[in-house]
Structure 1
Amino acid sequence: MITMKKLLALLMLLVVVTSLLHLSIGGSSLSLWQLIWQPNQVNDTGWMIFTEIRLPRLMLALTNGCALGLAGAAIQLLLRNPLAEPGLLGVSGGAAVVTIAALYFGWLPAWHLGLPGLAFIGAATTISGVLLLAGKSIQPLRIILAGIAVSTFSGALMALLLYLAPNPFAFQEWSQWLLGSLSNRGWPQWYLVLPCVVIGTIILLFCQQFLQALTLSERTVSVLGFSVPKYRASVLIAVALLTAGSVVSVGIISFIGLFAPHVARLLGFQQPRQILWLSAPIAALMLVLMDCLVRTLSTARELPIGVAVALIGGPLLVVLLYRRGRVDA
């Protein structure tokens, strides 16, 4: 059986290979081979394409993949619900609502460094709403239903704000952003998500032993010396931060955070700590591969990556629900 260290090394290798492939794909004839072995033959336009378009897009894919993977794994482990995910629970929608409201009412300009803070408030409020609706129950179905209710309400608020937008161009731009896309993004968007990922990861580092202990009952966890309310709030803050940074920078991309932990489990790793830290590179790899696919298949108009992921993730979610139903039965 493969060890976690070997799997992490393999995942890092795959991430590097797919990253090189990602950097080689684009609308221009510029190849990575030219940049590495014939840099003197690359003009200023070619270097600008690489440094201002392709490289920041790759960094956004990697960083947002890690954010979504960590957020998905953390919320699944905290709720002990393998079907939990920020997108399905409406957390992404909550962050998006506050972001659109900030742009609509002119609180902050687009891509302002304060946007992740506002999105964090929306994400944290949404998580609290879902847990309040679900009550003390940790039944997967009840939590998912609570998430659907909150997500539907968030979607209605977003639709209302978009409908009332005085500028039709703003409506089109915000709608495109909500679909989840890595196109027309650059370093400013990466600077928005990076602090959220760093802070969220640090919080989860301090909470990993608590998540590991949650395999036991909450009473046993308390006996072990963990303050359950304190650590639970810390994990939720980390999830809200990771989700907010991702939503502000690239929009709503669902399912990545749901499936990355399941891939870790399918590979034979069942311990919470293993699932948490394997989910980050797995999700990053998945998002980079999906973006390569989108850029390769798209012709005149690029398909938003959020739509492409949803087209694949929707049927897979049905399979997970079916398998979960058979296990519960």
Structure 2
Amino acid sequence: MRTFSARSLLIGALILACVVAALLSIFVGSAPLPFARMADVFTGHGDPIARTILIELRLPRALLGLSVGAMLGTAGAALQGYLRNPLAEPSVLGASNAAALGAVIALYFGFAQWHPAILPLMAIAFAIIALVMLFALAGHSESPLTLILAGIAVGTLATAGVSLALNLSPNPFAAMEITTWLLGSLEDRSFSHVWIALPCIAIGLILLLWDGRALDALTLGEDGARAMGFDLGRIRLRLLLGVAIGVGGAVAVSGAIGFVGLIVPHLIRPLTDRSPSAVLLPSAIAGAALLTLADVLVRIVPTSNELKLGVVMAFLGVPVFLVHLMRERRLW
């Protein structure tokens, strides 16, 4: 009973943090608006400029911050549980790198100018291609080490492709556009991006949250999980599909944002019983709150150009991870 109460308290506190983060994302920005003017918008009497800022710019940005953060946090927690590796995150399996390569190709060849959906769809397609390559390299092996090594190979190949695109960029403007996208940002996103990313993220979250009990069983080793009746092949398929589809959809609209999938499970784990299933849902909620709050930060820091979210997350993530590592190095 006490464990249930503690878990409920943790999830409740994290949901409250998400609500606060979402409200800040909607009401705080580089263009200050009086509260009365914002209230008029939500009562249906606001002026067109305020409505555009709140409804068409800030609201989809808040929704994307919450959904992308939830996807990255869940992916990191699921991979750390499945691979039994505290350094695992989506890039370990090459999904993030491959999605980035797909988006870069869309920008490099001008496909992204044909239709707004081309860039996200190519990012998702390349994440799926990375999944197929991962299966081909890993073969029928169910060993986490084999998956990690195959993922490193796929991720390195995708990173090399991105570097080649930058190296052979036909003009500096194309290179600048690619570089800007790789830095990660939720700036100038609209509801079209939300409708493209949200179904992919929803599918990814469902697939990753499905196997919580199986991840707990894997803490006993692969033989122990099999003895408990779990099909490791199906578990791996669901996990890899969840990462590829969910992270592909997230990266497609946000660009490359690191450290969320790495640090969020580490921050959540000491507040739970440390079992993989207990970390999954809190990591999703905490990832949503963290990324949304970081996106609010990039808007209020006074700079000539808005800071990129991926850069801010790197500066925030490294110190937090190192401090947590020093405190928790005796345990994982």
Aligned with 1:179 (options 166, 180, 183): 183
Contact 1:87–1:255 (CA under 8 A) maintained in structure 2: no
Q: Which residue of 2 aligns with 1:268?
A: 272
Give the aligned partner of residue 295 of structure 1.
Answer: 299
Q: Give the aligned residue type for 1:61.
A: G
1:207 to 205, 211, 233: 211
Give how far 1:135 is off.
Answer: 9.4
- Aligned pairs for 1:2-81 (under 5 A) are 3-36=6-39, 39=43, 42-81=46-85
Aligned residues: 324
Specify the code of the residue in structure 1 equivalent to 2:13: L
Contact 1:23 / 1:32 at 8 angstroms: preserved in 2?
no
Q: Distance in 2 between matches of 1:126 and 1:297?
A: 41
Larger deviation, residues 289-298 vs 122-131: 122-131
CA displacement 1:37-67 (0-9 Å, x = unmatched): 6757631111011111111110110010111
Question: How far apart, in 2, do the equivalents of 1:129 and 1:303 lie?
Answer: 39
Query: Structure 1 residues 263 and 201, CA, compared in 2 at 3 Å: closer, same or farther?
Result: same
1:234 alignment partner AA: R
Q: CA deviation at 1:152?
A: 4.2
Which of residues 115, 118, 127 in structure 1 aligns to 2:125? 118
Question: Does structure 1 retain, via aligned residues, the 8 Å contact 2:83–2:144?
Answer: no
* 123-132 or 48-57, larger mean C-alpha shift: 123-132
**Whole-Å separation in 2 of the counterparts to 1:64 and 1:130:** 28
Q: Within 5 Å, which residues of 2 pair with 1:180-199?
A: 180-199=184-203
Aligned-pair CA distance for 1:208: 2.3
Deviation at 1:179, TM superposition (A): 0.7
Task: Name structure 1 gaps, 5 residues minimum.
Answer: none
Specify the SS of the correspondent of 2:91: coil
Output the CA distance in 1 between the equivalents of 2:296 and 2:183.
17
Q: Could you tell me how far 1:155 is from its partner in structure 2? A: 2.4
Partners of 1:244 and 1:14 in 2: CA distance: 26
Contact 1:75 1:236 in 2 (8 A): no
With 91-100 and 104-113 compared, the bigger mean Cα shift is at: 104-113
What do residues 156-213 of structure 1 show as CA deviations (whole Å, max 9, x unaligned)? 2102112323354332222111111011211122222111111112222432222222
Change (3 A) 1:305 1:131: farther
1:300 is displaced (CA, Å) by 1.5
Deviation, 1:250, is 0.6
Preserved contact between residue 272 and residue 279 of structure 2 (Cα < 8 Å) = no
The alpha-carbon deviation at position 116 of structure 1 amounts to 4.5
Secondary structure of 2:240's counterpart equals helix
The code of the aligned residue for 2:30 comes to G
Structure 1 residues 124, 298: CA separation in 2 closer, same or farther (over 3 Å shift)?
farther
* 3-state SS of paired residue (1:198): helix
Match of 1:114, SS? helix
How far apart in 2 are the matches of 1:267 and 1:327? Answer: 13
* Aligned 8 A contact 1:199 1:238 in 2: yes
Deviation per residue, 1:139-159 (Å, 9 max, x gap) = 9xx94x876665444322102
Taking the aligned partners of 2:99 and 2:137, their CA distance within structure 1 comes to: 14
Using the TM superposition, give the Cα deviation of residue 263 of structure 1 relative to its aligned residue in structure 2, in angstroms: 1.4
Q: CA contact under 8 A between 1:86 and 1:254: conserved in structure 2?
A: no
SS at structure 1 position matched to 2:90:
coil
Gaps of 5+ in 2: none
The 2-side partners of 1:226 and 1:82 are apart by 23
State the one-letter code of the partner of 1:264. I
Quote the sequence identity (%): 38
Which residues in structure 2 correspond to 1:142-153 (within 5 Å)? 143=148, 150-153=154-157
Deviation at 1:123? 4.2
TM-score between both structures, scaled by the size of structure 1? 0.86
Counterpart CA distance in 2 for 1:137 and 1:119 is 22
- Shift, 1:308, TM fit: 0.8
Correspondent of 2:285 among 265, 269, 281: 281
Q: Is the 8 A contact 2:142 2:232 kept in 1?
A: no
Distance 2:122 2:192 in 1: 12
- 1:3 alignment partner, SS class: helix
